[in-house]
A and B are shown apart, each in its own frame.
Chain A
Amino acid sequence: KAGVTQTPRYLIKTRGQQVTLSCSPISGHRSVSWYQQTPGQGLQFLFEYFSETQRNKGNFPGRFSGRQFSNSRSEMNVSTLELGDSALYLCASSPSSGGGETQYFGPGTRLLVL
């Protein structure tokens, strides 16, 4: 089975721009979660989608948004980029939601904001 895939792998943007990151979960997985990883804050939960619905949201400003499509693929959007948004964005999938199941991660997208 193919793993979680994320595109693009690397991205450079400037302040004020917006960016869209994509995540394709493992086949059959319906839950997709997004995390931001920075050296200072570590790994922080952004949000989780299940069956095209946002189930949970972390403590991030409204500039961070996401969505999930009927094929379980998910996108994350960050508008009005700030320097502090430079991070590794990780996507993880699991078969369902809320059951304590293992989440399997993709390779991440490294975003650099200049």
Chain B
Amino acid sequence: AQKITQTQPGMFVQEKEAVTLDCTYDTSDQSYGLFWYKQPSSGEMIFLIYQGSYDEQNATEGRYSLNFQKARKSANLVISASQLGDSAMYFCAMREYGDDKIIFGKGTRLHILP
């Protein structure tokens, strides 16, 4: 069964608008971490933001924030004031505590339009 679901294969957004990238996850563990990574065309996976399952506040890192709704098992990424350089593939991922691997979703390709 798919553990990380990203329902938006691609998105087109006007520059300076806010963007929400959807992510739902499935786990029976109580302890886990949720991540978002950005992958530009160069291929490197760039860490953006992390949310622990016990964190009560939504994580924020600059223009990135994670809308964490634990009961719904949802961890959407919000990018405020999008920029042309935000055009990339975005992956939602989960790491269950005690496990060593990160499980990735299929990704959302984001295109920022000038």
Could you list which residues of chain A lie within 8 angstroms of chain B, going by C-beta atoms? 31, 33, 35, 42-43, 45, 48, 50, 55-56, 58, 88, 90, 92, 97-108, 110
Contacts and interface: CB of A to CB of B under 8 A. Distances in A.
A12 to B, nearest CB: 16
B45 A102 contact: no
A102 B35 contact: yes
A102 B102 CA distance: 9
A41 B50 CA distance: 24
Interface in B10-35: 31-33, 35
Main secondary structure of the interface of A (DSSP, over half): strand
* Interface size class of chain B, counting residues whose CB lies under 8 Å from the partner chain: 20 to 34
Contact of B33 (A33, A43, A100): A100
A96 B12 CA distance: 38
Contacts of A105: 37, 44-47
